[in-house]
A and B are shown apart, each in its own frame.
Chain A
């Protein structure tokens, strides 16, 4: 009974995606599969939108580096600060997640929009993505820092004679790697899929994959948009699944 239910739910969730992917390889969706299958739409998508895929991957990578460099030390500092202010800050971390992406985007445009050509540079998108994903990294790392009796382990490292750099690199980081990996996975997936904010931040010069996808649905034949979905699935789902598996293995 539960297996049937699971299958129905899975079909409900995945069905539309599969249908869309299928539409991407039919010559004419309105005539149905009888009109024949083709890879022409996929080729067309590649020609038109390959740069959005490249930008999305590059953006996700840069966003990951930024959130790691900012998030891990910040989480450590927060976890080690006993003050009420630190607890309040922790509570406020969810705020950028709750604020609609469009509002954040408008704010960023107001602040940076008139600063030279920054508006059409990809780093403008990066700022938005880092703002949006940093809380997720912080939360994941904070959770890891709170577990694992890390404070005692650090004291033990100090008693062994380790200075701050030695114990941070040799004891703290290895023991929170599960949290860091979980955060990294979250940040990467969120950055690649982010649409709300990116739609407003992006320009024809700086178009990410999801924005390109919306663009293709809005301005091309349905089959082109569908082929894009197919490309997205083939390109991004396997690496994300692999990363998940890796993080589970290393996180143990």
Chain B
């Protein structure tokens, strides 16, 4: 039910010659969920649009679905499902009309269409809202309608552009879990764009970190977090503490230890519920910036000096 998508040597240039995407080759395995992660302008949306067929790669680039070249196929003939940023629901159609649109344009008979729409309403927990106008829906409901509309024709590739971008933080987390569960049942090849590393790590079984039109690293969330390819990736997917030179560590690699070899002065602490986030000024030659570490229980007051031990296996050597 799902396909392997491949971008082969795909670049995308603006008319003035600047590159939105440098020549890129990326494979998305059948059934995998991949997050395209990066700051705005990094080329992640361009990558998604190339896969969708909403943009064409520069000459030489190819898009392959299960080995078949689809580069020349426009989006409407690629058989994909797509969720747009802000959802782009059709205001002239009700919820059921939106969800059934992809079936309607494919000429699916009405009875079959109605059954499929009902199934999608159930799957996305929108039962009873079929005849609601889309402007009467909450943000979370709109997102689910957009998802149901994309999934109704049973696409073999699902593309999502900032699927949580238009939602507030609390709703985001609830819907993230919901989407993760849904994707796990569907096992459909999914690629989504996000600038939120927590979202990318939570939903993706693959993360592609991008910057300035280039892929910096592709790997599992764990691999990208634990062995980032460079400083940018390391900083983008989490917090880095500088130990001097090219040596860095994650906050959890540092722990308070009276016998430790590293020292720092507490600058400020933020109580975050389950733990407290401490910012320290490192007392280590060559270490720049601040250190961050998360502690449970009571924490030293600002201004006090801490002695820390470092898990040497967790030291990262990162080029600039």
Residues of chain A whose beta carbon lies under 8 Å from any beta carbon of chain B? 148-149, 152-153, 155-163, 166, 170-171, 174-175
Q: Which residue of B lies closest to A151 (CB)?
A: B88
A163:B76 contact, CB within 8 angstroms: yes
**Known contacts A152-B88, A174-B92, A160 near B54 by CB under 8 Å:** no
- Taking the complex as formed, is B236 at the interface, i.e. its CB lies under 8 A from any CB of chain A? no
Residue B28 is within 8 A (CB to CB) of chain A in the complex: no
Which A residues are CB-close (under 8 A) to B89?
A: 156
17 further contact pairs, Cβ within 8 A, besides A158-B75, A161-B106: A155-B54, A155-B84, A156-B84, A156-B88, A157-B105, A158-B74, A159-B80, A159-B81, A159-B84, A160-B102, A160-B149, A160-B150, A162-B105, A170-B101, A170-B104, A174-B92, A175-B92
B264 within 8 A of A: no
On whether the beta carbons of A175 and B91 are closer than 8 Å, the reply is yes
The smallest beta-carbon distance between A151 and chain B, in angstroms, is 9
Give the chain A neighbours of B77 by CB distance below 8 A: 161
Instruction: Give Cα A180–Cα B30 distance, bound, in whole angstroms.
Output: 46
In the assembled complex, the Cα of A153 lies from the Cα of B90 at a distance in Å of: 7
Number of A-B contacts (CB under 8 A): 63
Query: What is the total number of residues of chain B having a CB less than 8 Å from a CB of chain A?
Result: 25
- In the complex, chain A residues whose CB is within 8 Å of the CB of B105: 157, 160-163, 166, 170
Residues of B within 8 A of A (CB): 52, 54, 74-77, 79-82, 84, 86, 88-92, 101-102, 104-106, 149-150, 153
Are A161 and B76 within 8 A (Cβ)? yes
Contact check, A156 vs B76: say whether CB atoms are below 8 A apart: no
Among B81, B88, B102, residue most surrounded by chain A Cβ atoms (within 10 Å) = B88
**Cβ contact of A155, chosen from B75, B102, B150, cutoff 8 A:** B75
Q: Are A159 and B92 closer than 8 Å at their CB atoms?
A: no
Give the complex CA separation of A148 and B134 in angstroms: 14
Q: How far is the CA of A163 from the CA of B79 in the complex (A)?
A: 12
Residue of A162, A163, A174 near B101 (CB, 8 A) is: A162
Contact present for B84 and A160 (CB under 8 Å): no
> In the assembled complex, which residues on chain A have CB atoms less than 8 Å from the CB atom of B91?
148, 175
Q: Which of B52, B101, B150 has the most chain A CB within a 10 Å cutoff? A: B101
**Given the complex of chains A and B, what is the CA–CA distance between A153 and B150 in angstroms?**
13
CB pair A159 B101 closer than 8 Å: no
Q: Which residues of A contact B76 (CB under 8 A)?
A: 158-163
Query: What residues of B have a CB within 8 angstroms of the CB of A175 in the complex?
Result: 90-92
Give Cα A156 to B104, complex, Å. Answer: 14
